[in-house]
Structures are given as C-alpha cells and as structure tokens.
Amino acid sequence: MTKSVAPALLITALCLSAAEAGAGGQGSYVPCDNGLRCVMAPCPSNSALDLASGKIIKGVSIDIGGLPQQDKALDLQDKLYAGKVVVAGTIENRPHTFNGKQYS
C-alpha cells in the first residue's frame, strides 16, 4: 500500500529506524529511507516517524508538488532520504497503477 505525506513545513530533525506502525492523521512527520529495496513496484522503501505518537508508518512517499518553488531546494530529496526534515501534513491512501495493476 502506498501512502503520501503532503508537506507544508520543513524543519531540521533526525530520523529513527523503521518499526511497527499504525495509521496516521494530521500532524508532523519525519520521513526517511528505511533501507528496503525491491525488484518490482510498488516498493515501500520509505517510512515516516509520527512525532506525536512516536510510531513509524511504513511505505510512505512524499508529495512535494504543492510546495512553493522556493521550498523545493536542490538538496530536498537528499534530506528527505536521510530523515533530516520534518513535514507537516496528513498521511492518506492513494491508488497507484504499476504495469497495469492497481495498488491502493
């Protein structure tokens, strides 16, 4: 299942390693790469730490499409990969199609 975090605010932070998690709502999250590598999509290679609950939500991807251009720094993807930013927003399920098969 692929989830997206809609970011609104960026702040420096640290990321923790992946662990069990539940569903998230509005709040602040620290997304990071969890080290998982896949042969086929969808690949849940990112996780997000929910700062309110301390839980890790597995299989998220960050949607930075809504950010203003000045917030899309050249190193933003590197910081997201390393868990060095906090994003404020919601986690929601979005269906995706890979090789003609729909995943939600």
In this predicted structure, what is the pLDDT of residue 3? 53
CA distance 16 to 3: 19
In order along its 104 residues, the chain shows pLDDT tens digits of 445 444 333 322 333 322 233 344 479 999 999 888 888 777 788 899 999 999 999 888 888 888 888 888 888 888 888 889 898 888 877 777 777 887 76
* Phi, psi (rounded to 5 degrees) for 33: -75, 135
According to DSSP, the β-strands at 60-62 and 3-5 are parallel
